[in-house]
Amino acid sequence: MIPTILADDELLARQKLRQMLFEDKEIELVGESGTTSETLDLVRRQRPDLLFLDIRMHGRDAFDVVEELASDADFPMPTIIFTTAHDGYALRAFEVHAADYLLKPFTSERLKVAIRRATLQIQSRLTPPPTHQTQNGINPYANRIVFKSRGRILFLPVSSIRWIGAEENYVRICTEGESYLLREPIGHLEEKLDPQLFLRVHRSSIVNLQFVKEVRTESTGESVVILLNGQRLSMSRTYRSRINEWLTHS
């Protein structure tokens, strides 16, 4: 069970979220608050693992709450999911390592995704992450990307990316069910992605190795990468050796 607090100054918003959270057996609601000072008191008293925080509340900014909680180094910082009707704060939310950023109104599906991410964050906090730490202890690669798509703000974990295709000045990021267009050179994106997980197979494509089923050479001599879902991506000679290297190592 995850001890959770709801903070929103609108009664109806709290009511909706409360009803949605009742359906989730993992969530244990330990309190609700309507102002920033109430929230601070409540969080300090209850020490929840998860905090749903509305950005605009009576009193001060929600970021002040985060700052004040963080100022006490001994206090266990809860994982935060921001909820707001306004999308102007996404980057700040991202900077304070929020698990997700929900734009109201949201569906229960969207809420489930957010809770799953928060759960992962809570678990990884309890057991320190063993993966891909460099010598100085800082992972130089991105674990998530934040961007705006179709009127939503997405905090996309890179592990959910299947492959990335370049379209002129844009890249198309493909996940299980959706694709997003981002104005970014593919080379720039490649630099941000962990080479242990992602491989450039073509001038215009990068694949997530976790979703690669096989690499095949066609009768025409052309090499293709086949993903778990059957999607085929062509591979150029220059990148061929790199995937061979990876295949032999794993």
Partner 1 sequence: MNPAVFLGTGALLAAVFALQEWVEVRQMSHHINFTLLLAAWGVQYLLWGAICWVLWQFFGPKLQRVSWFWAIAGLFPLSILLSVLEEMVWVLCFPNLPLWMPHMKYWSRVLFQLRAELVDGLVIFWCAFFLFRGVGYYQRYREKEAAAAKLEVQLAQARLHAMRANLNPHFLFNTLNGISSLMRSDVTAADLMLEQFSSLLRICLERGEAQLIPLREEMEFNEMYMAMQDRRFDGRILQEICVQPELHDALVPAMILQPILENAYRHGLCHLSDTGLLKIEARKENARLRLNVLNSGIGLNPECSKDSDNHNLGLVNVQDRLRLHYGANQSFSISEVDPAKVLVSITLPLQLCEDPAPVLAEYGA
**Residue of 13, 122, 142, 224 that binds partner 1 (CB under 8 A):** 142
Indicate whether 221 belongs to the interface with partner 1 (CB under 8 A).
no
Binding letters toward partner 1, positions 74-113, x by CB under 8 A: -------------x--xx--xx-x-----xxxxxxxx---
Q: How far apart are CA 21 and CA 109, in angstroms?
A: 12
User: Taking the complex as a whole, how short is the minimal distance between the CB of residue 10 and partner 1, in angstroms?
Assistant: 15
184 part of the interface to partner 1, by CB under 8 A: yes
Peptide bond into 105 cis (omega under 30): yes
Beta bridge partners of 101: 82
* Residue 18 interacts with partner 1 (CB under 8 A): yes or no: no
Write the DSSP assignment of 103-134 as a string of letters.
Answer: ESS--HHHHHHHHHHHHHHHHHHHS---TT--
Is residue 183 part of the contact set for partner 1 (CB under 8 A)? yes
H or E element: which one contains 27? strand 27-33
Please report whether residue 70 would count as binding partner 1 according to CB under 8 A: no
Tokens representing 138 are 């800082």
Judged by CB, which is closer to partner 1: 144, or 242? 144
Coil, helix or strand at residue 233:
strand
Q: Report the amino acid identity of residue 65.
A: V
- Name the site residues for partner 1 (rule: CB under 8 A): 87, 90-91, 94-95, 97, 103-110, 139, 142-153, 167-170, 181-184, 192
